[in-house]
Amino acid sequence: MGAISITGKSRGATSLKLTAGKITKTVPITVLSRNLLSYGPAEGNGLTATVNTDGSLHVTGAASRQWAGLVWTFPCPVQGTVILRSPTFIAGLSTSVKFLDAEGHQLDGQVTSGGNAVAIPAGTVSLRFEILSSEATPTAKDGDLRVQLESGDTAHEWMRPDNTSLRGGV
């Protein structure tokens, strides 16, 4: 018996019709985004994020201090290796994803945009996506971010995440 591999071309729901002799079976299929991030509107530490119609983030304001900003925490959807890519960026802001255990404590390692692929540590149950000011004296920001976390070690073209309604904060 052989295996069939199917790759979805775009996000959404569809079905797969399989026929073997006189037997036909229709299987519902949901194609998910390769972007594993979850985020949405957020406000804190002087920054505000809203979600644009294309699913990217619009960030405005000036962070209250260096390494302060916005965070979103969500269940870890995969195990293995991940890579973070940001094809658009805002100067003075850094993006990263940290790995959290069941108690919400940070585990070793993080993945940063523009960095190498990183293995998700054993015991990771949640991820924390952060947008932080990297400036010693933060300046006002007003721009759009497209950030993508995906499985594997190869970054692909940016895709809207499936969840853009997760409330974030500090």
Instruction: Note the pLDDT tens digit of each residue in 135-158.
Output: 999 999 999 999 999 999 999 999
Answer whether residue 48 is part of any domain.
yes
pTM, 2 dp: 0.86
Answer whether residue 20 is part of any domain.
no
Answer whether residue 5 is part of any domain.
no
Residue 33's φ and ψ, nearest 5 degrees, are -70, 145
- The span from the CA of 130 to the CA of 113, in Å, is 11
- The domain that holds 58 is classified in CATH as 2.60.120
Instruction: Note the pLDDT tens digit of each residue in 88-138.
Output: 999 999 999 999 999 999 999 888 988 799 999 999 999 999 999 999 999
Answer whether residue 33 is part of any domain.
no
Answer whether residue 137 is part of any domain.
yes
What range does the domain containing 94 cover? Answer: 42-151
Answer whether residue 163 is part of any domain.
no
pLDDT band at 55 (very low <50, low <70, confident <90, very high): very high
Answer whether residue 88 is part of any domain.
yes
Answer whether residue 114 is part of any domain.
yes
Number of domains in the chain: 1
DSSP 6-67: ---SSSEEEEEEEEETTEEEEEEEEEPPS---B---EEETTEEEEE-TTS-EEEEE--SSTT
For 151, the 3-state DSSP assignment is strand
DSSP 119-142: EPPTT--EEEEEEEE--SS---EE
